[in-house]
Structure 1
Amino acid sequence: MSTSSIPRQDVLDANSTGNKTEGASFKFSEGHRLIRDLGRPKPILYWLDFLPCILIAHTLFMTMRYMHEILPEDPSRAYLVQAILFPVCVILYMRCAMFIHELAHFGDKLPYFRPVWNSLCGVPFLIPSFVYLPHLDHHRRKSYGTHEDGEYFPLTHMSRWYLVAFLLHNLLIPILAYLRFLVVSPICWVYPPARRWVHRHASTIVVDPFYERRDGSPELMRLVVRQEAFCFVWLLWFTFGDWIMTGQLVSPMWFWGYLTGVAVLTLNAVRTLGAHRWTGDGRVMSFEEQLLDTVNYPHRPWITELWGPIGTRYHALHHLFPSLPYHDAPEAHRRLMEGLPANSPYRETIRTSLLGEICELWRRAGGRSSSSKTVAT
């Protein structure tokens, strides 16, 4: 397989900055040489991973929703079964949702995967694929960590209260997403002037609450409207389906949908806090600074794969090689660890404990003096 499996622009961007970093010992070309035969998405692996997970997760979700109808004579047993099924369902949904990340990078290389993923996961979870398209800005060297990167916020330089708020705001996200697609979308359809503000401020998965998305092309906006329409129809059924079918005014589906959504969002938020060291201060960071600002968790896959599925536990590796599909990440990491020099900065990206890294972030964020608005890192 030729080295064209990994786009050369990644190499150019990395080398153009890496060579300017004083004392840098990481050579991008050396790492690229070790994994040059990797980097081609294998659609069959995506299908064999996603379809069983989403079908099992949907089955578990509907079982929880109807468990009291299944066991009407034994409510305590029904609650027990729901308590057992719930974490399994959340972990499976988390894995399925993370395929949105692969779609942002490889959507055109996975025939039919995008519409199927949107139908089975993106639309039901109100995360249609268009909300994650700006993710590529997170990988552009001159955007990473700046105001143009919606997935970055200088958490190290901020109050600990923002870390708390970052986790607690997930209680509101399902409600805001519900209103976004059931109420705001129709407003944009009948009142087009509202579209620009909504597209810039309420159409992207972000970490930075002040991020403004760039205006979209006519082709993109047609895609946005189409996916909005599917979400709108789904929410009509989600809201009124039980009332139409059974006459129930309050549907158990609302409770389970909200609870599951909050759980998946919170799990992903915890993962996100440990994916970076968040040491940027809004300025453009050098290649090595960006590398050392990201984290890998290669150890204990029996647990790290649960909270960091679809390659997200190899976040530093992903920032080095954004065009590497998730199924190649473990092998790529193994080769880099075997082939890179002992003093390679790449080795400094490895951590064992997600909670340990989050505790370090908590200590750094709390290390600011009361009179200072910056932190020594």
Structure 2
Amino acid sequence: MNSFSLDRRDAAGVPTPRTVSRRAPVADDRAMLRAASELTRDLTAPRPAIYWSDLIASSVIGYAAFAAAVTLGASGWGIAAWVVSVLALYRAASFIHEVSHIKHAALPGFRLGWNVLIGIPLLAPSFTYEGVHNLHHAKTRYGTIDDPEYLPLANMKPWSLPLFLAVAALAPIGFLVRYAVLTPLSLIVPSLRPVVEARYSALCINPDFRRRPAEGAARRLWWQLEIATSIWSIALLGAVATGVVPLWAFGVYLATISAIMIVNQVRTLVAHLWENEGEEMSLTAQYLDSVNVPPPALLPFLWAPVGLRYHALHHLLPGLPYHALGEAHRRISAAIEPHSVYHKASYKGLPGLVARLARGTMTAR
């Protein structure tokens, strides 16, 4: 799951092309790839009971804590309840990543359930990620200008990192404008619709990415979810304007979405090393440019939930359900040689990864 980022364009508004780096290419480690595949063949089936119980529990805890935060106000207990709400709803929201990967026949109704519980209420319906995230996993797109979820952040200027986070903080305002204003306006002004679809309908970090129109069943689902989110947004703003929803509750709502997006943006900062500058990469190179933060680290359970702490492994085996990634990592780590490149994608925690990224920006040309 990603959000917004920096617009890398020149003064004339033309996208700035990425320069191709001169780093030596990394060949695929076929022994590692084969071992990873063979050791995890029995882990590919999603378990509905785990998916549903996790999503429902996270949602119930998140909304109950949100209600407590609104009721208790700016007290110590109110702030504590708000933090619990942010973390629980962030976990529930992170299932958008699973929705973009799972075979829906294996989890009937889960996409609809997620959108009703989380996607529509938090203004991030699944169509903004489905059909986008899969491009990030395309071998010939990863790390290139055509990857919607990649920027060479390690080679950008130091000010790019705080700006990267600041833009995420404004996400709820952007979401409300997108659905309460642009959706109905694009129906009235048909010439606006292609712009809305191409530029404002994807959760991505590459500002040069332009989304292609969906077709068939995907387009019907897009319209259903977009209209539902638009109705929710307009109704919410109307309720605030008429005093049905108090300004305090609305402020907590906006702050909650903003905090979720900031936490996710911090996670995004350390999901990859962000050192590629446009060239195509082997699968092994993509794996090494990605990050695992496995146990014994405990905090990643909060800031990289729903399997996101195994992000490098996910790039290696994108078909594995989130609940299988821990077992897959244990099997591969135990079976593969100590000198294998598999172990080189594992890191201790968030501080060291952020420091590495910051050092990269300090030496960027």
TM-score (norm 2): 0.89
Residue 124 of structure 1 corresponds to 121
Instruction: State which of 45, 55, 76 in structure 1 corresponds to 2:60.
Output: 55
Indicate conservation of the 8 Å contact 2:137/2:315, yes or no: yes
* Whole-Å separation in 1 of the counterparts to 2:140 and 2:237: 43
- Paired residues, what number? 339
The counterpart of 1:345, out of the listed 341, 344, 361, is 341
- Residue 332 of structure 1, aligned match among 319, 322, 328: 328
| 1:322 to partner: Cα distance | 0.2
The answer to whether the 8 Å contact 1:26/1:344 transfers is no
Q: Residues 94 and 306 of structure 2 are in contact (CA less than 8 Å); yes or no, is this contact kept in structure 1? A: yes
Of 160, 163, 167, the residue aligned with 1:162 is 160
Structure 1 contact 90–263 (Cα < 8 Å) conserved: yes
Q: Using CA pairs under 8 Å that are at least 6 residues apart, name the structure with larger relative contact order, 1 or 2.
A: 2
Provide, for residues 57-111 of structure 1, a one-character-per-residue CA deviation record: whole Å limited to 9, x for no partner.
111112222235xxxxxxxxx6122111111111101100000000000151211
Counterpart-to-counterpart distance in 2, 1:241 and 1:83: 24
Task: Say which SS state the counterpart of residue 115 (structure 1) adopts.
Answer: helix
CA RMSD of aligned residues (A): 1.8
| Matching residue of 1:110 | 107
* Amino-acid identity (%): 34
Which of 37, 52, 64 does residue 42 from structure 2 map onto? 37
Q: Please say which of residues 186-195 and 23-32 is displaced more in the overlay.
A: 23-32
How far off its partner does 1:242 sit?
Answer: 5.0
Structure 1 residue 224 displacement after superposition: 1.8
Residue equivalent to 1:171 = 169
Q: Distance in 2 between matches of 1:196 and 1:259?
A: 31
Q: Counterpart of 2:101 in 1: which secondary structure?
A: helix
2:71 partner letter: Y
Of 220-229 and 233-242, the range deviating more from structure 2: 233-242
Residue 184 of structure 1 and its aligned partner are, at CA, apart by: 0.2
SS in 1 for 2:129: helix
1:302 is paired with a residue whose SS is coil
Contact 2:165 2:265 in 1 (8 A): yes
Does structure 2 retain, via aligned residues, the 8 Å contact 1:238–1:253? no
Whichever structure has more helix as a proportion of its residues is 1
**Alignment partners' CA distance in 2, 1:30 and 1:58:** 42
Matched residue, 2:229: 231
Q: Does 1:84 align with 2:109?
A: no
Match of residue 150 from structure 1: 148
Distance, in Å, in 1 between the alignment partners of 2:176 and 2:115 is 16
The answer to whether the 8 A contact 2:26-2:281 is kept is no
Cα separation, partners in 2 of 1:293 and 1:180, compared to 1, 3 Å: same
Deviation at 1:22, TM superposition (A): 4.4
Over residues 30-79 of structure 1, what are the superposed CA-to-partner deviations in whole Å (9 max), with x where a residue is unaligned?
Answer: 221111111111111101111011012111112222235xxxxxxxxx61
- Return the letter of the residue paired with 1:212: R
Gaps of 5+ in 2: 1-24
Supply the AA of the counterpart residue of 1:132.
Y
